[in-house]
């Protein structure tokens, strides 16, 4: 049985919305992840980040809150620049 609570979602940011984050999963599905005032933000190296640093094209790992209603934390990493 799949437990939707405390799930982890991974994908690429397609849009940063006023109340959430639209991400494209690795399988191509899109999902809007609700953000709340309790959501915490981190860079891939675990340094604290802010919501304003989220931009389209970033890779994110989102851990959902225990009630599954919003993101508990968002870990972001900038896409590697093409050489």
pLDDT for residue 34: 97
Average pLDDT estimate for 17-46: 94
What b/e string do you get for 30-62 counting C-beta neighbours within 10 Å, with b at 16 or more? eeebebeeebebeeeeeeebeeeebeeebbbeb
Average pLDDT estimate for 53-72: 94
pLDDT for residue 81: 62
Average pLDDT estimate for 55-74: 94
* Contact between residue 43 and residue 37 where contact means Cβ atoms under 8 Å apart: no
pLDDT for residue 26: 85
Cα(25)–Cα(32) distance, integer angstroms = 11
Mean pLDDT of the chain: 89
**Per-residue model confidence as pLDDT tens digits over 18-29:** 999 999 998 899
């Amino acid at each position: 049985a799949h437990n939707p609570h405390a799930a982890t979602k991974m994908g690429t940011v397609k849009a940063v919305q006023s109340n959430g984050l639209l991400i494209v999963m690795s399988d191509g599905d899109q999902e809007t992840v609700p953000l709340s005032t309790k959501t915490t933000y981190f860079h891939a190296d675990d340094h604290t980040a802010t919501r304003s640093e989220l931009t389209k094209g970033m890779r994110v790992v989102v851990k959902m809150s225990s009630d599954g209603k919003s993101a508990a934390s968002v870990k972001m990493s900038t896409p590697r620049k093409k050489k």
